[in-house]
A and B are shown apart, each in its own frame.
Chain A
Amino acid sequence: MRHYPSAALLAAFALSAGFAHAETVLSVTTDGNAETVAAMEALTAAYTAAHPDITFEIENRPGGADGDNLVKTRLATGEAGDILQYNSGSLFQALKPVDTLVDLSDIQGSVIDSFKSVVTAPDGTIRGVPFGPAMGGGIYYNKKIYAELGLSVPKTWAEFMANNERIKAAGKVAVAQTYGDTWSSQLFVLADFYNVQAAVPTFAADYTANKAKYATTPAAMAGFQHLEDVYKAGYLNEDFGVAKFDDGVRMVATGEAAHYPMLTFALGNIKQNFPENLEDVGFFAQPGDDPARNGLTVWMPAGLYIPAASTHVAEAKDFLAFVASVEGCNIMIGANGATGPYLIKGCELPKDVPGAVADMMPYFQADGMTAPALEFLSPIKGPALEQITVEVGSGIRPAAEAAALYDQDVEKQAKQLGLPNW
């Protein structure tokens, strides 16, 4: 914060001079993901080119729970800078947006409605703009292994397990899991939400209202059961307990493993680290029980927000309006290629997308083939889920017990949020 006093002086000067030639430095905090950094650098460079008096200072924060902690602390102490990149949905709600973030309802002209709802504060105001593409949660598969063994993309969980059995019989790793990065263990549970909603359409509302539980809803339990099943069947890579996200990406891209359950943003990593394997990787939604209802669980992109303590609200808002425009969207596509649909009206993806994206797009184009992940429908997400899913996926705790344990974790979060009925 060394520039702080001078920046405040400049801001005061700018107000009196009507923004004439004032130079403003906007401080931006983002997660350290390679895709995020590339997109943010491209956007800020383009914006500074058009507005030479505005420059940016980009700082990377850690991801996961460490990052959550940092963001909350900085917001509480008024040190979160001018622009903040952070998750939408339930994690956004945990920031107490009414108190900590600036109202951005007036720059939503190009934003698609489905995103607005996941950055809407409890008072009905919209406090963020989308940054990056929407993601699907599902299963990457290695096309070479599929071709070699004559397998086809599964439409039900039973078919998926039958494929795994044949892959294992061929002496290969059927499912890569990377519990060294604990967050990656949640996929089978979280990405199963399309199937949960297909079976119990009111689950999200009942869950928020303390009426439905994971342990007592068989469809919701299924995700935990899947984790237990793939472990028990011996389909996992030998080092699943310590492998990291990057290992999982490598395994499915290079054919060390046939499947890797993950969000579609991983495609950016494949593109950067294994460009020659980009077309070896395909993607399908996590299958459920009913082949006729095989749809995709969707993650909304992160949002950009302006902390309430920012001293450059007007400038930051103008930049965010630029990000939430077709022009900004095209710059992000230029920086990272197309890894999923952007939530900006009139922003089209290029025709030549990688195979895994082409696999995902049909889900978005048909009606009723996608469902948002639970964290975008309910403000409650238990913070210990990633440890619990590691336990189930490592055979430490049976699925039923784990689901009940997660229900307790959810209750704790709901109480902290001060929700009614809890």
Chain B
Amino acid sequence: MKQRPSPYPYWFVLPAAVVFVTLFLVPTVASFWFSMTRWDLFTAEFIGWDNYRQFFKEPFLVQGLVNTLIYAFVTSATKSVLGLLLAVLLTSGILWQGFLRSVVFFPVLVSTIGVGITFQALMHPTKGVINLALSWVGIDGPSWLSDPGLALYSVAFIDLWKGVGLATLIYIAGLAAISPDYYEAARIDGATRIQQFWRVTLPLVRPATVTVITLSLIGGLRSFDIIWATTRGGPGFSSDVLASVIYKQYQAGFYGLATAGNVILFLLIAIIILPLTWWFSSREVDL
């Protein structure tokens, strides 16, 4: 069949194209160029791959890279598991369901910087509420945000607290899409609640799981604001992630180096997320 020509001329695309090209395409291409220069905002001197070499030589970078992966996987995994459990609980018709749903979602709406400052106070080693509460039951609480082995996980916990509401919301929508017929059939076959969860809920809520994992993994990989608001990558470099390492290079005036770091972060996210999305979409199942 011959396709009818569109009634709209091609130049209708122009306004959108101008915005896209100037605000997205040009800066992206420019950042590839600037990542190859020694750039101080005034002059840019071409130095080839030196910035990339320097970035991988950064002693804090390897730790930042490992931390980024740990942080992304920990937050993504806990958000999907906890989000699903909360969603199942909050769709089961428990008392005050609507109120509890808003309680779970509320932290998503609060400013990240505000959350960071609040948790700095809550997690203070001697005056914080958390350690005061622990001391009543005789536990000597650690220094949550300034213990080098713990800081990253403390921040991941704050991220979980703040972000789990969004995962729950997506799961609630996913659960609502499952037809009650399946549960009825399962019950007739004598399936217990636990069997229903594993055999009906989990496979059928899969699209929501894919969305939650993808979103929270991308969010975790490029996470910056909550880390900067709580530990600034410290103590020392122990909770540094790629984004905070990059930010510090900008602060120090190493603009070319920082831009190279951003290109690397972009590639890293692409390398992890693209195959994951392909894998998820290739395994769409019918029940």
Q: Which residues of A contact B (CB under 8 A)?
A: 65-66, 68-69, 72-73, 75-76, 94, 96, 99-100, 179-180, 182, 238-242, 383-384, 387-388, 390-391, 394, 396-397, 405, 408, 412-413, 415-416, 418
Residue in A66, A73, A75, A390 whose Cβ sees the most chain B Cβ within 10 Å: A390
Q: How far is the CB of B144 from chain A (nearest CB, A)?
A: 9
In the bound complex, residues from chain B placing their C-beta under 8 Å from that of A413 are 252
Q: How far is the CB of B276 from chain A (nearest CB, A)?
A: 33
B236 pairs with A242, CB closer than 8 A: no
In the bound complex, residues from chain B placing their C-beta under 8 Å from that of A397 are 236
B124 CB contact (under 8 Å) in A239, A391, A412, A416: A239
B234 pairs with A416, CB closer than 8 A: no
A96 CB contact (under 8 Å) in B40, B124, B126, B252: B40
B13: interface (CB < 8 Å)? no
Known A-B contacts: A68-B252, A180-B146. Give 7 more (CB < 8 A): A75-B41, A76-B42, A96-B40, A394-B235, A397-B236, A412-B257, A416-B253
Given known A239-B124, A242-B124, A242-B125, contact A383–B252 (CB-CB < 8 A): yes
Complex-state Cα separation, A405 to B41, whole angstroms: 27
B125 pairs with A66, CB closer than 8 A: no
A242 pairs with B252, CB closer than 8 A: no
B interface, size bucket:
20 to 34
In the bound complex, residues from chain A placing their C-beta under 8 Å from that of B233 are 387
Q: B19-48: which residues lie under 8 A (CB-CB) from chain A?
A: 38, 40-42, 45
Q: Could you name 30 residue pairs across A and B whose Cβ atoms are closer than 8 Å?
A: A65-B251, A66-B251, A68-B251, A72-B40, A75-B41, A96-B40, A179-B234, A238-B126, A239-B125, A239-B126, A239-B127, A239-B143, A240-B146, A241-B143, A241-B146, A242-B125, A383-B248, A383-B252, A383-B253, A387-B236, A391-B236, A396-B236, A396-B238, A405-B59, A408-B57, A412-B254, A413-B252, A416-B38, A416-B253, A418-B45
A68 pairs with B41, CB closer than 8 A: no
A73 pairs with B41, CB closer than 8 A: yes
Complex-state Cα separation, A33 to B131, whole angstroms: 32
B235 pairs with A241, CB closer than 8 A: yes
Q: How far is the CB of A69 from chain B (nearest CB, A)?
A: 5
B60 pairs with A242, CB closer than 8 A: no
Complex-state Cα separation, A96 to B41, whole angstroms: 10
Q: How far is the CB of B279 from chain A (nearest CB, A)?
A: 38
A69 CB contact (under 8 Å) in B120, B235, B250: B250
B234 CB contact (under 8 Å) in A76, A182, A240, A418: A182
Given known A72-B41, A384-B60, A415-B38, contact A394–B253 (CB-CB < 8 A): no
In the bound complex, residues from chain A placing their C-beta under 8 Å from that of B248 are 65, 383-384
A387 pairs with B234, CB closer than 8 A: yes
B107: interface (CB < 8 Å)? no
